[in-house]
Amino acid sequence: MLICRTFGDIRATVAEWRRAGETVVFVPTLGNLHQGHLQLVELGARHGERVVVSIFVNQLQFGKNEDYALYPRTLDADVGKLESVGADALFCPSDTEVYPNGIEHQTTVAVPTMTDILCGATRPGHFTGVTTIVTKLFNIVQPDKAVFGIKDFQQLAVVKRMTQDLCLPIEIIEAPVARADDGLALSSRNGYLNARERAIAPALYRTLLGARESIAGGERNYALLEARAQVALLEAGLRPDYFSVRAAKTLEPAGPADQDLAILAAAWLGRTRLIDNVTIRIAG
């Protein structure tokens, strides 16, 4: 696996693959890789001949009171994991390579409407940080396709909208949620959970499944369903941030005409913020 640290190196590598007629698939990450990330790489390999993974802990998407400084940097271990699943190149630039003028002077990319709700309501500026770095990485790597996980459902929706609105010639591939045996969605932040919290954490997914079963059974009073779910999370020992039934494409609150729904939730468990979602299609 090639390791590239500069724009010039990764662009030259990708250009060579392109000249050979190979399709390039890109998997952007923050590092501290787990099995869910490796599944993104494996999925990418099924969609193209070459897979590029980036590791960059992007300060622009972390809030003032969030865990940027504490976010685990595990590059050596990450390299071994990526080699084990056959990634072709790793792009791991420095902060100064990505933000040569500093983040306070960085031109930003913002997607309206979809980014000030749900996670965006309690993490102001987060999605602008995401869309800015993704746009920069797309421009640097210039892939044909990019893989994003459905676990970060709002992020996926925002990136798809941004890619469409900016006419970027990149196909977005959606990767299923990777889960532990007890249903907990895999996340780098799960490492912050202590043993007691880890035992409680799967209640988030169970509550989402219960809500989906209620909708499948005919429940259409989404406000009541959301209220019941928040109580269930509290009783399980989590502190809910939100629990919401939304139109899957727009992320607007679900209405009677919406058939493709996403049920999204975020909750705190100790100092760890967990997110998860399930989807359902209902008959019109």
Active site residues: 37
Residue with tokens 């007629």: 21
Find, among 73, 4, 76, 88, the residue nearest to 41 by Cα: 88
Q: What separation in angstroms does the CA of 120 have from each of 167, 191, 242?
A: 24, 23, 11
